[in-house]
Amino acid sequence: MIREMKTVLASFVQIFVFSSFCAGQSPAPAVRVRILNPTNGTVLRAHQQSVIQVEVTALDGLVSKVDVFVDTNSLGHLAEPPFTFPFQADALGSGVHHLSVTASDNRGDQATSPSIEVTVLAFAPVVRAVYLIPADRTLNPAYVNAIFGALTNLQGWYSQQLSNGTAFRLNVPAVESYVTPHAAIWYATNAGGYFYNALNDGFVLTGGTYPDPDITWVFYLDADAKGQATGGIKGVAVLHQGDLQGLVAESSSTTKRWIGGSGHELGHAFGLLHPPSCETPIPGVVCASSALMWLGYTTYPDTYLLPADKSILNQSGFFYAPTNVISLLSPQIGTNGFSFNANVETGWPYRALSSSNLQIWDNYTNFVTQSSNVQIHATISSTNKLFRVQYK
């Protein structure tokens, strides 16, 4: 009898302890949900097609709906697996956003995921110029300066041609320099051909891709093309050693002609074609031989864009205008003059102008800034001077 009571008591204690343990635990949630992609802290570009990938588990039922939210607004919903929701990043708007999802099952149970923070960069296409230095050559600072000078000159010329306040924007830095893994001769002798050999090395070194809706690429390779094709196609241009030499006046042709050559190939990279009837005659159509996109590059800047070319550029995302308000700050007077700072958007052409009467403004200096804060120096005049900074 005593033995039996001990057994019963032991069993009772075991059951009591087990039951107490179970009662102390929180019940497993009926629905579990989390965002697998994008991950927290992801940066998206405006044009980028992205996907929200969701993992949902319903323990006691079937998932009936998954609602996707950006901040507090509904982005859409999914009714069946796979729970992936495609979206265009610019649909969110530029800036920082928080993504979350709420999942429901057929029994009315519901759960919300932890939020994921993503940042959407504003759509701001740029021209990205890259100076490629073969492994057996050294960086030539004169080439860097010449590329920058050519592109800023072309920036103004294209803007004048369109006459609508738009221009293409230069990347920051305006000219990038990379040493390639190959000797100069390799580009003309490797089976890929000069153009594509340059592109392949350029994209590996920059981490770039093609095509890229945000970037028009211009590669300047310091290697002899040996007569192989160079030039531009939509989205990218490749220029060779001869172009670099021409831009620094190491050619029998004028520097302007070589700036025009860069402008011609850049035009192809923007999607412009040769004028009708120039390559293949068309009955009744006269070739516009002096246009930039045919032989006009040889007489640059005394050349022009055809109306059809202007239409293409006006529809291109690469021609637009800065949106910020220019601010002039921190005027300082020194022994030899004075200075002030201008807050501007990078990559655009600007002008500083001066006036003594607010009616007639004289151009003081032109610049394409690589910094959002630019210091402008001026000499002290015998008369009062007023200054302003404007786009172009």
The model carries a pTM of 0.73
In this structure, what token pair is assigned to residue 35? 């965002």
List the chain domain ranges: 31-121, 126-314, 327-391
Across residues 303-308, what is the average pLDDT?
Answer: 98
pLDDT at 63 (0 to 100): 83
pLDDT at 49 (0 to 100): 78
Between CA 389 and CA 392 the distance in angstroms is 9
User: Which of 173-177, 303-307, 318-322 shows the lowest mean pLDDT across its residues?
Assistant: 318-322
Between CA 125 and CA 215 the distance in angstroms is 6
Beta-carbon contacts of 313 under 8 Å, excluding residues fewer than 6 positions away, are: 158, 162, 270, 272, 305, 319
pLDDT at 3 (0 to 100): 47
Average pLDDT, the chain: 87
In degrees, rounded to 5, the angle at the alpha carbon of residue 153 between the alpha carbons of residues 235 and 138 is 75
CB crowding 145-181: b at 16 or more within 10 Å, else e: ebbbbbbbbbbebbbebeeeebbbbbbeebbbbbebe
Contact 134, 58 (CB under 8 A): no
Residue 304 burial (10 A CB sphere; 0-12, 13-18, 19+): middle
pLDDT at 190 (0 to 100): 97
pLDDT value at 286 more than 70: yes
Say whether 327-391 and 31-121 share the same fold.
yes
126-314 has CATH 3.40.390 classification: yes
pLDDT at 26 (0 to 100): 58
The CATH-assigned architecture of domain 31-121 is Sandwich (2.60)
327-391 has CATH 3.40.50 classification: no
Over residues 228-280, the pLDDT tens digits come to 999 999 999 999 999 999 999 999 999 999 999 999 999 999 999 999 999 99
pLDDT value at 23 more than 70: no
pLDDT value at 106 more than 60: yes
Eight-class DSSP state of 325: P
Beta-carbon contacts of 288 under 8 Å, excluding residues fewer than 6 positions away, are: 275, 276, 278, 294, 306
Q: In which band, very low, low, confident or very high, does the pLDDT at 299 lie, cut at 50, 70 and 90?
A: very high
